[in-house]
Structure 1
Amino acid sequence: MKKTILLSLFLFVFNQMKAQEFSRKDSLQGGLREERTCYDVLRYDLDIRIDPEKKWIFGSNTITFKVDDDTNKIQVDLFENMAIDGITLDNMPKIEFTREYNAFFIHFPKILKKGEIHKLRISYYGNPIIAKNAPWDGGFVFTKDKKQNPWIGVAVQGTGASLWYPCKDSQTDEPDNGASIKVAVPNGLMNVSNGRFLGSTDLKNGYTRWDWEVKNPINNYDITVNIADYVHIHDNHEGLDLDYYVLRYNEETARKHFDNDVKPMMNCFQSKFGKYPFFEDGYKLVETPYLGMEHQSAVAYGNKYKKGYLGMDLSGTGAGLFFDYITIHETGHEWFGNSITSKDIADMWIHEGFTTYTETVFIECIKGYDEAIKYVNGQARNVQNNRPIIGQFGVNREGSGDMYYKGSLLLNTIRHIINDDVKWWKLLYNYSETYKKQIIDTKTVIDFFNKESGLDLTSVFLQYLTTTKIPKLVLSKKGNKLNYKWENVNADFKMPIDIIINEKPLRLQTNTENQELKIDKKLLLEEIYVKTNQFYIKVERK
């Protein structure tokens, strides 16, 4: 209990120290006020039309919600460039609202009582923001394929789903009972969204509506549309439906390409992290005009049917060139990000660190430990150490992009601190299963890893997540004494380190205090091998 209290206090103080000037607009999007916490979203029912030529959306979203606290006002979110055409509650028309930046506050004519369930229908229209460089900036992509057919996608992680549809735009609340996504597009095109395909309807006005339904809870930013002249490829793997929607002229290439990675990947991930979490909704890869995104049960794929990352190995080692990076990474998010979700995007390392580590896990499944270790350590070249991994809470601000590679290296370090692979794989599997389809925070992760490992890993997590300092092992020698300690770390940092002296492995329980080990006085410091491939550290020999 004492450790838990101290951890909570540390994270609170850390967040206060990082405080900077944020606007009312930021806190409206990232914060949790009573207008948000007073209700729980149960379901979204989107029914929209998209005009590719005008780059325009028109339609509605019906939000089914349960009242958690008596209220006559709630906050819903929709970017201010999108217009609201009208709001109804159950059978009550013309519900009043006021707008403030990208939020709007709905004022009910009576008090909604705790426990009540209501349906709120919001009609809206407008030209959504177009991304300049999707998926790194949020927005729509309106482009054309090689045959000059419209090709449309959307990616809004971090920016917010309210960029294109009204919702409670917070990761703290997913629709418990899923969502339906009905999208009308010009005849001759297809829309692919999340979940199962229910059917299409010719609307007799030049548009066909494509109906999809998600059974599981889903992140707001995961709800998606993909519009193109698609062909559908179906497969099945041990009862799991595998569906690929690709541009018509890429069908033959896609069949061969996806077959190489998807089934081995599913075997690996399900053995290490548990059953595919959205079995009821199936698994899809959908070809998109941007690189990729972890849209739940409709993973966006834009890696151009190349191995690695657009034909490159981000680790620089060559170990990542036998698989398609986007297929593996974005699917890894189905377990880490879509199933296990962070409460605040300041904790997005819970998504990205674990998912980046799934790449290493896949390599180990297929190629073995040595290749996996080579790959994860190669990722260190991408770490910037420019800002802490954990961002600013309550204002819709992520931390450093180091959440990817440094987050993965942190997990590799934790694995080797535990130093028991049976325990490690069991811990990772149990973590995935314990918090399946749950929304958590950093404290929850640390507490779980401490409990399951039987170790106090708190100072290690906090060192890598809340500072830009990489632990430095300082070795010095005087006579027959080896002196060792950690520098460039928090005062309470402690972490064991494995070394080899004269072919004999040793584990040094190391902290910030100078410690001694008796050695052969003829031994040179350069002859002491430190296992830096197992721990993300620096070494200084004095």
Structure 2
Amino acid sequence: MKMTRLVLALGLACAAVSAHAEQPALTAMTEDTGVPRTPEQAAVVFEHADLGFKVLPDSKRLEGDATLTFRASAALSKLVVDLDRNYQVSRVEVDGQAVATGGWRNPEGKMSVDLPKPVASGQVVKLRIVYAGQPHVATRAPWDGGFVWAKAPSGEPWIASAVQGEGCDLFWPCIDHPQGEPLLVDQHITVPAPLVAAGNGVAMGMQEKDGWRTWHWRTRDPNTYAIALNIGPYEEMKGEYHSRFGNTIPLRFWHLRGREQQARELFAEFPQVLDFFERNIGPYPFGDEKMGVVETPHLGMEHQTINAYGNDYKKDKYGYDWLLQHEFAHEWFGNQLTNTDWDDMWLHEGFGSYMQPLYLQYLRGDMEYHAALLDQRAALANKFPIVSGKSQTEEAVYNREHGPGLDIYYKGSLMLHSLRSLIGDEAFFASIRRAVYGTDTPKPGQFKPRYVSTRDYIDIVRQVTGKDYGWFFDVYLYRAALPELLAERDATGLSLRWKTPDALPFPLPVDVRVGGNDGPIRTVAMSGGQGHLALAAGETYTLDPHSKLLQRLPHIEAFQRDAEARRQAAESARKK
């Protein structure tokens, strides 16, 4: 999701066309995502979205024809969907009957349609909307959402959507909220021949007529922002993965022409990444569809079964393609497990970020695991809690000026590392499986995507361990400042005390190594947030020798202050 890398220092591997200065402004309703659903939106089950898109590269125009099927869970007199008001709506139908112009309205991007007659609970109603216009152009995809109109190196149109930050309503009528997932989506994507449209889910066929190709894709239970358009002069790479759970998973990679060698090297990583996740977490959630990746003119995004990849085939200092691995993590933490609210976004990004050091531990051992965690530790801001406890929009969570920003990635990851150290691997991974699948023993085809909140996960940890760890999550998730471990020598040894925000209880045990590097390790119980270890006079000690604890570290803060000072000095020098 909104892929970030420490301080977003990566450049985009992109030949994107910049946004038109004259493009109409988005309304506040459309620009934001995760605004609470209206009563009408909360009172429907979104059963099916049948989406027709005709993409016209020359005019950067989109023609849409969407039929949305809802089942009412309460009586309804109108339907409400989200759609950018900058589109021109030419026709609205309810159950096949045209709705007069006065029967629908879309002043701010939340479109209301009056029903010809009330719909009772349990009844099905179909809403069709035909619309057209120029979709909002992303100025800096994927961080600023919209369409990317680019050119492939060979000159053909290369087009992608990336709408996580602003939402699905940038290009199709939807319920723009994490809990607005449709149960089934069909996409009919019409593009100039011979371009390819790689889509979510399963390929249902392609028809070509009069110089146009229409690609049909079908997927189940997608995140609303996961529906994506990816169009270009693609070549398709195919393979299969024989899962440890007995099923066979199709592997697909759509890459640009002329990049086959680089594409083969990346494609070779697919089975290893799959094995890591299936071994540590559980079955790939969409194995009956595909593991799909498509090369894009922006950095990346976790579009369910068709993850956007724009990392230009670069491996990082750890020797793997971090973007491929991170986006694929979101098939579990984002697409299978979906946050109930943007306030719970750490469940996507924190777990997704922890999968990277964990993957390095799987590949090469503990040194790179701890090195990757240290990279994350150096990036923490700790200015805002990563969970507020109240409903939030995407912008409120990701904007680090007034929200947690990158901390939902890295503080979430480091908190999970400490939780794993506290409760042990067996309970830790059992808690993840139960959160992701709803069971400790998931099997392909025997689970469905789930909505999970922060409180749900805290309850799951309690169920798995038989202990209440609310104190742990209260400090790490619901407070901004990190706990500080205070150590003081006394006449008989070492006194330890946790200093926490709001003086919250925090009985987190502390390991102490006595003597040199080969000295014994003693675990100090911290009942009441305090503990004591007997030490001989003059004996040396090392606190937390295996770096289990997420805690305040003054030397990290000093490093951050120095780095910020140097950044500001360099910025001032550039302006002179």
Structure 1 length normalisation: TM-score? 0.88
Select the residue among 276, 290, 294 that pairs with 1:282.
290
Distance 1:27 1:293, change over 3 A: closer
Select the residue among 450, 461, 472 that pairs with 2:462.
450
Would you say 1:467 and 2:467 are equivalent positions? Answer: no
Q: Is the 8 A contact 1:473 1:539 kept in 2?
A: no
Q: Which amino acid is 2:538 matched to?
A: K
Regions of 4+ moved over 4 Å: 23-29, 511-514
Distance 1:24 1:136, change over 3 A: closer
Select the residue among 34, 43, 62 that pairs with 1:38.
43
Deviations for 1:35-63, whole angstroms, at most 9, x for unmatched residues?
Answer: 21111101111011011111111121111
Distance 2:165 2:343 in 1: 10
Deviations for 1:278-307, whole angstroms, at most 9, x for unmatched residues?
Answer: 112111110000111000000111110111
Q: Which residue of 2 aligns with 1:383?
A: 380
Q: Which amino acid is 1:114 matched to?
A: S
Q: Which residue of 1 aligns with 2:552?
A: 538
In structure 1, stretches of 5+ residues that fail to align are 1-22, 309-317
Distance 2:181 2:532 in 1: 53
Select the residue among 142, 147, 150 that pairs with 1:143.
150
Q: Is the 8 A contact 1:38 1:74 kept in 2?
A: no
Select the residue among 474, 477, 489 that pairs with 1:477.
489
Q: CA shift at 1:196, angstroms?
A: 1.2
Distance 1:386 1:364 in 2: 30
After TM superposition, the structure 1 = structure 2 runs for residues 64-103 of structure 1, keeping only pairs within 5 Å, are 64-94=69-99, 96-103=103-110
Q: What is the DSSP-based 3-state SS (H/G/I as helix, E as strand, rest coil) of the residue aligned with 1:276?
A: coil
Q: Is the 8 A contact 1:198 1:212 kept in 2?
A: yes
Q: Which residue of 1 aligns with 2:3?
A: none
Distance 1:341 1:115 in 2: 25
Q: CA shift at 1:331, angstroms?
A: 0.4
Would you say 1:522 and 2:522 are equivalent positions? Answer: no
Would you say 1:255 and 2:260 are equivalent positions? Answer: no
Distance 1:529 1:29 in 2: 43
Deviations for 1:436-456, whole angstroms, at most 9, x for unmatched residues?
Answer: 511111100111112212332
Q: Which residue of 1 aligns with 2:300?
A: 292
Q: Is the 8 A contact 1:27 1:394 kept in 2?
A: no
Distance 2:231 2:120 in 1: 41
Q: Is the 8 A contact 1:386 1:400 kept in 2?
A: no
Distance 1:25 1:209 in 2: 28
Deviations for 1:486-508, whole angstroms, at most 9, x for unmatched residues?
Answer: 11434233122222123222222
Distance 1:110 1:162 in 2: 26
Q: Which amino acid is 2:195 matched to?
A: L
Distance 1:25 1:281, change over 3 A: closer
Q: What is the DSSP-based 3-state SS (H/G/I as helix, E as strand, rest coil) of the residue aligned with 1:475?
A: strand
Q: Which residue of 1 aligns with 2:129?
A: 122
Q: Is the 8 A contact 1:28 1:103 kept in 2?
A: no
Deviations for 1:110-144, whole angstroms, at most 9, x for unmatched residues?
Answer: 11100001221111111111111111111110010
Q: Which residue of 2 aligns with 1:231?
A: 235
Distance 1:395 1:429, change over 3 A: closer
Distance 2:42 2:550 in 1: 40
Deviations for 1:130-186, whole angstroms, at most 9, x for unmatched residues?
Answer: 11111111111001011111100011113111011111111112112x211111111
Q: CA shift at 1:465, angstroms?
A: 1.9
Q: Which amino acid is 1:371 matched to?
A: E
Q: Is the 8 A contact 1:491 1:512 kept in 2?
A: no
Would you say 1:335 and 2:332 are equivalent positions? Answer: yes
Deviations for 1:339-398, whole angstroms, at most 9, x for unmatched residues?
Answer: 000011121111000011111221122112342122223211122223222256154432
Greater mean deviation of Cα atoms: 388-397 or 494-503: 388-397
Distance 1:468 1:395 in 2: 19
Q: Is the 8 A contact 2:505 2:529 kept in 1?
A: no
Q: Which residue of 2 aligns with 1:486?
A: 498
Q: What is the DSSP-based 3-state SS (H/G/I as helix, E as strand, rest coil) of the residue aligned with 1:382?
A: coil
Select the residue among 377, 390, 393 that pairs with 2:391.
393
Q: What is the DSSP-based 3-state SS (H/G/I as helix, E as strand, rest coil) of the residue aligned with 1:372?
A: helix
Q: Is the 8 A contact 2:437 2:450 kept in 1?
A: no
Distance 2:78 2:362 in 1: 52
Q: Which residue of 2 aligns with 1:8?
A: none
Structure 2 length normalisation: TM-score? 0.83
Select the residue among 183, 203, 206 that pairs with 1:200.
206
Distance 1:158 1:299 in 2: 16
Distance 1:434 1:109 in 2: 40
Distance 1:29 1:529, change over 3 A: closer
Q: Which amino acid is 1:329 matched to?
A: H
Q: Which amino acid is 2:368 matched to?
A: E
Q: Is the 8 A contact 2:223 2:335 kept in 1?
A: yes
Would you say 1:325 and 2:329 are equivalent positions? Answer: no
Distance 2:420 2:530 in 1: 25
RMSD: 2.2
Q: Which amino acid is 1:79 matched to?
A: D
Q: CA shift at 1:82, angstroms?
A: 1.9
Q: CA shift at 1:193, angstroms?
A: 0.9
Q: Which amino acid is 1:360 matched to?
A: P
Q: Which residue of 2 aligns with 1:315?
A: none
Greater mean deviation of Cα atoms: 372-381 or 61-70: 372-381
Distance 1:303 1:528 in 2: 40
Q: Which residue of 1 aligns with 2:510?
A: 497
Q: Which residue of 2 aligns with 1:439?
A: 451
Q: Is the 8 A contact 1:26 1:395 kept in 2?
A: no
Q: Which amino acid is 2:337 matched to?
A: I
Distance 1:511 1:289, change over 3 A: farther
Q: Which amino acid is 2:470 matched to?
A: T
Greater mean deviation of Cα atoms: 478-487 or 272-281: 478-487
Q: Which residue of 2 aligns with 1:509?
A: 525
